[in-house]
Amino acid sequence: MRREIPIAICLLAGLSFILEYFIPHRQVLSIFETIRQWSIIVIAFAYVLGLSNLVRVNFHVIQKKQRDWLYKIILVLGVFFTLIVGIIPYFGGIQEGTIFDWIYYYAQYPLQATMFSLLAFFIASAAFRAFRIRTFQASLLAITAVLVMIGRVPVGEKLWPGFPDFIEWIMNVPQLAGKRAIMIGAALGAISTALKVLTGLERTYLGGD
Amino acid sequence: MDLLTIIGNTLALILTLCIFSFLYKDNPFYKFAEHLVVGVSAGYFAVLIYFTGFIPKVWDPVTKKNEWWYILPAILGIMTWTRFLKKWSWISRFSIAFYMGIAVGVSMPLDMQGRVIRQLSATMLPVHLMNLQGIWNLLIVLGVLCGLVYFFFSLEHKGVVGGAASVGIWILMIGFGAGFGLTVMGRVSLLADRIQFMREWYLMVIKGVTGG
Amino acid sequence: MRIPHLLRLFFVSCIFLLVDFSLSVAQEDLSKSWFNLHRVNMLIFLVFFFAVIIYFIERAKRGKSLFIRRIAGLDAIEEAVGRATEMGKPVLFISGIEDVDQIQTVAAMIILGNVAKMVAGYDTPLLVPICQPFVVPVAEERVKEGYASAGKPEAYNRDNVRYISSEQFAYAAGVNGIMLRERPAANLMFGSFYAESLVMAETGFSTGAIQVAGTANIHQLPFFVVACDYTIIGEELFATSAYLSKEPKLLGSLKGSDLVKAIIIGFLTLGAVLETFGITHFTRWFFIE
């Protein structure tokens, strides 16, 4: 019962939504849309699981004064401070000009954006390493990468006027073919795994007994 | 320019530099910024989901519109919390199963449509050896075929199959190289964006304060 | 029961005629229809695919031997875990940044359970940073099960499955922190990744860890190929998870998927040949609204 009912729920929900794809009727679609919204609600509640895990794990580090425990205090304070100023109406909620908005704009956004911008350095080091790899397959990758990099900047056209067209060809012929092969294979793999989930053959997501 | 904006921008600059310090090596400034971003973003997402998921989709319909049936997904959501109780944790499976069922049901036809059938029909191209486009079409068709052979699991990659699979992996590698090369400029522009922010801070705060 | 060839041919012809007919029918007000006739072809593809997969799974259940070639990614995972064990350092398992509703995450969870089983016998810590809240309970259960099935339930440390943040770069920052300070000797990255993939893979490389990655997200594969010791590409991710489960019935799906790929290759070749001769009708059967 503890496994069969969830599997039955999954199968029923899954089959209904497969059917939804074939039913264009407006009223039916609006019912399905409502149910789809329900899954967002379930996720909203599941955030409590994530946050409780985060706080528990870091609280243990602080409690045992393990390595970097002082930083973990900053982390936990960050969680609670953001939660408090966001949820307690006294602080104005999440509208523009509130403390919550200020935290996002001046702390979270710059931190995130700078982490993202580190990619410029990481991609450079990765590219540098790619050229040192000596297998045939890796050289194909490296050579194509260099050609595309040169072809996308003005200097490429100055070196050889046909460069932009050549890059266009790489993108539209070999790149496209490779992309399609991966896409078709991966989709078939995903659909067959999804089918196993739907039929209860794959129950990983349900966890242990 | 108000004081709060100056403080905010200065804080943003300090945090930006803290993250960049990682390029030298792991250090207390980076650790501070890292823990801060993890904590603040975890809280931020929870607040956001509270205001975009719980309030408009459960609280408002039930309390303001008397749409009591929105209590059902809320119950399903609360059932996930049984994970905290060892004896009752199996109840959470109902919610996970519901969520999974919907996700899987939605994705299967869409994957089949967009990632299999549409790709298949787009690759059914006329192949000629008389003109360039026909030759390129032939290369696309052969490339996709060889790529698909690479993903065969019930045949050993030997003989003709092995040959086709090898060509398949070469095609994939060329594709990866193209993807890599294409992304470089985009990533550099992200860095330029942060440098621009630092420049703006200098102009706004230092020049603003000194009046220079 | 054997069906005569002629009957099969008749049956297949009927299906194609049905597709042809349904695609040519004009449905004026779709919002009042109970079935979108222009999607009959999709219905047939889906039903056929499901039937093939289920047929091969049933065959495998009946004990028919199915040959599946050795997947190279498996050796890479075992090698990475082995090296971490030898060095007495942790293994880091990153399951992507999407929730458990994403099938790649499900595949990652299957691999995670098997990795947990591998490390359990050697007192090697397994660190699992998580990006989405619903993945937390699933990952906890998978790791717990893995340790239990290796006969070491007491070695399971609940605090090693850690929710970090649902924001991708905050998550990447947290994972970087683990890589830099807890120095795992093996970084296993499986699932759905986006731009954060390179941040993590390059940091992992700088720490000298052996790295194995697998994803079906095409745009991230180049970065994994460059920064990792071994990359599992696209469908190989699902195949690896099926292979690791070691259940023959799950391997049956690989065989079924292969048959469908062979049919796709046939359709593709036929479609290209017909298009070359100016016959476009066949390609039309694959148009979906």
B11, B103, B187 ranked by CB distance to A106: nearest: B11
Phi, psi of A118 (to 5 degrees): -60, -20
Of C256, C260, C253, C209, the closest CA to residue C106 belongs to: C253
**Rounded to an integer, what distance in angstroms lies between the CA atom of residue B199 and that of residue B193?**
10
Do both C102 and C76 map to the same domain?
yes
Max CA-CA distance within chain C? 68
Of C29 and B212, the structure prediction assigns the larger pLDDT to: C29
The whole-number average pLDDT for the span C198-216 is 95
Do both C55 and C154 map to the same domain?
no
**Rounded to an integer, what distance in angstroms lies between the CA atom of residue C182 and that of residue C88?**
12
**Rounded to an integer, what distance in angstroms lies between the CA atom of residue B156 and that of residue C128?**
34
**Rounded to an integer, what distance in angstroms lies between the CA atom of residue C245 and that of residue C113?**
9
Element housing B31 (H / E): helix B28-49
Task: Identify the band that residue C7 occupies on the pLDDT scale cut at 50, 70 and 90.
Answer: confident
CB pair distance less than 8 Å for A177 and B177: no
**Rounded to an integer, what distance in angstroms lies between the CA atom of residue A18 and that of residue A197?**
14
Which region, left, alpha or beta, applies to residue C183 given φ > 0 means left and ψ of -120 to 50 means alpha?
left
Q: Is C111 a member of any domain?
A: yes
For C255-270, write each residue's pLDDT tens digit: 999 999 999 999 999 9
Beta bridge partners of C189: C94, C213
pLDDT at C138 over 60: yes
Whether the Cβ atoms of residue B194 and residue A159 lie closer than 8 Å to each other: no
Structure tokens at C6: 């002629």
CB contact C8 to B (< 8 Å): no
> Please, what is the Cα angle at B113 between B112 and B115, to 5 degrees?
70
Rounded average pLDDT per 10-residue block, chain B, 212 residues: 86 95 92 96 94 92 90 94 89 92 95 95 92 94 96 90 95 95 87 91 77 60
A-chain residue closest to C44, CA distance = A22
CB contact A171 to C (< 8 Å): no
**Rounded to an integer, what distance in angstroms lies between the CA atom of residue C186 and that of residue C177?**
15
**Rounded to an integer, what distance in angstroms lies between the CA atom of residue C76 and that of residue C92?**
14
A71, A72, A141 ranked by CB distance to B173: nearest: A141
For A140-181, write each residue's pLDDT tens digit: 999 999 999 999 888 888 888 999 999 999 999 999 999 999
B-chain residue closest to C285, CA distance = B121
Three-state secondary structure readout of chain C: CCCCHHHHHHHHHHHHHHHHHHHHCCCCCHHHCCCCHHHHHHHHHHHHHHHHHHHHHHHHHCCCCCCCCCCHHHHHHHHHHHHHHHHCCCEEEECCCCCCCCHHHHHHHHHHHHHHHHHHCCCCCEEEEECCCCHHHHHHHHHHHHHHHCCCHHHCCHHHEEECCCCHHHHHHHHHHHHHHCCCCEEEEECCCCCHHHHHHHHHHHCCCEEEEEECCHHHHHHHHHHCCEEEECHHHHHHHHHHHCCHHHHHHHHHHHHHHHHHHHHHHHHHHHHHCCCCHHHHCCCCC
The whole-number average pLDDT for the span C195-222 is 95
Chains with 3 or more CB pairs closer than 8 angstroms to B? A, C
Whether the Cβ atoms of residue C71 and residue C243 lie closer than 8 Å to each other: yes
**Rounded to an integer, what distance in angstroms lies between the CA atom of residue A121 and that of residue B20?**
10
**Rounded to an integer, what distance in angstroms lies between the CA atom of residue C30 and that of residue A21?**
13
Whether the Cβ atoms of residue C137 and residue C221 lie closer than 8 Å to each other: no
C-chain residue closest to A175, CA distance = C218
Name residues whose C-beta falls within 8 Å of residue C111's C-beta, 6 or more positions apart in sequence: C77, C188, C190, C214, C240, C241, C244
pLDDT given for residue A99 in this prediction: 94
**Rounded to an integer, what distance in angstroms lies between the CA atom of residue C86 and that of residue B108?**
42
Structure tokens at C286: 């694959």
A-chain residue closest to B6, CA distance = A106
**Distance from the A207 Cα atom to the nearest Cα atom in chain C, whole angstroms:** 5
Do both C122 and C221 map to the same domain?
yes
Element housing A80 (H / E): helix A69-87
- For C28-40, b/e burial (b = at least 16 CB within 10 A) is eeeeeeebbbbbb
pLDDT at C178 over 60: yes
The whole-number average pLDDT for the span C74-103 is 93
The whole-number average pLDDT for the span C281-286 is 87
pLDDT given for residue B212 in this prediction: 56
Count the alpha carbons within 13 Å of C192 in the hemisphere toward its beta carbon: 16
Amino acid at C61: K
Do both C239 and C253 map to the same domain?
no
Q: Is C226 a member of any domain?
A: yes
Complex confidence, ipTM: 0.92
**Rounded to an integer, what distance in angstroms lies between the CA atom of residue B10 and that of residue B13?**
5
Which region, left, alpha or beta, applies to residue B100 given φ > 0 means left and ψ of -120 to 50 means alpha?
alpha
Whether the Cβ atoms of residue C195 and residue B190 lie closer than 8 Å to each other: no
pLDDT given for residue A84 in this prediction: 96
Do both C120 and C197 map to the same domain?
yes
Do both C256 and C184 map to the same domain?
no
CA A142 to each of CA B181, C138, C211: distance values in angstroms, whole numbers, following the listed order: 9, 39, 20
CB contact B172 to C (< 8 Å): yes
Of C219, C204, C237, the closest CA to residue C77 belongs to: C237
For A120-151, write each residue's pLDDT tens digit: 999 999 888 877 766 888 899 999 999 999 99
pLDDT given for residue B89 in this prediction: 87
Amino acid at A174: P
Beta bridge partners of C163: C130
Domain count, chain C: 2
Q: Is C289 a member of any domain?
A: no
Domain coordinates in residue numbering, chain B: 125-212
pLDDT at C111 over 80: yes
Task: Report the residue of A15, A192, A202, A203 to disrupt the C interface, i.e. the one with the largest count of C CBs within 10 Å.
Answer: A192
Phi, psi of C127 (to 5 degrees): -100, 130
A21, A119, A205 ranked by CB distance to C109: nearest: A205
Task: Identify the band that residue A97 occupies on the pLDDT scale cut at 50, 70 and 90.
Answer: confident
Do both C95 and C202 map to the same domain?
yes
Q: Is C166 a member of any domain?
A: yes
- Residues 196 to 225 of C: which have CB under 8 A from any B CB? 218-219, 221-223, 225
For A27-73, write each residue's pLDDT tens digit: 889 999 989 889 889 989 999 999 999 999 999 999 999 999 999 99
Of C12, B41, C25, C217, the closest CA to residue A110 belongs to: B41
pLDDT at C1 over 60: no
The whole-number average pLDDT for the span A108-129 is 92
Chain A partners within 8 Å of C110 (Cβ)? 202, 204
Which of helix, strand or coil describes residue A25? Answer: coil
pLDDT at C27 over 80: no
Q: Is C237 a member of any domain?
A: yes
CB pair distance less than 8 Å for B177 and A191: no
**Rounded to an integer, what distance in angstroms lies between the CA atom of residue A28 and that of residue A37?**
14
CB pairs under 8 A between A and C: 196
Q: Is C31 a member of any domain?
A: no
CB atoms within 10 A of CB C205: 21
pLDDT given for residue A208 in this prediction: 60
Which structural domain range is residue C278 located in?
5-26+37-63+248-284
- For A80-112, b/e burial (b = at least 16 CB within 10 A) is ebbbebbbeeeeebbeeeebbbbbbebbbebbb
Read off the DSSP letter of residue B68.
Answer: G
Do both C93 and C120 map to the same domain?
yes
pLDDT at C28 over 80: no
Q: Is C57 a member of any domain?
A: yes
Element housing B42 (H / E): helix B28-49
Do both C171 and C252 map to the same domain?
no
Whether the Cβ atoms of residue B15 and residue B36 lie closer than 8 Å to each other: yes
pLDDT at C121 over 90: no
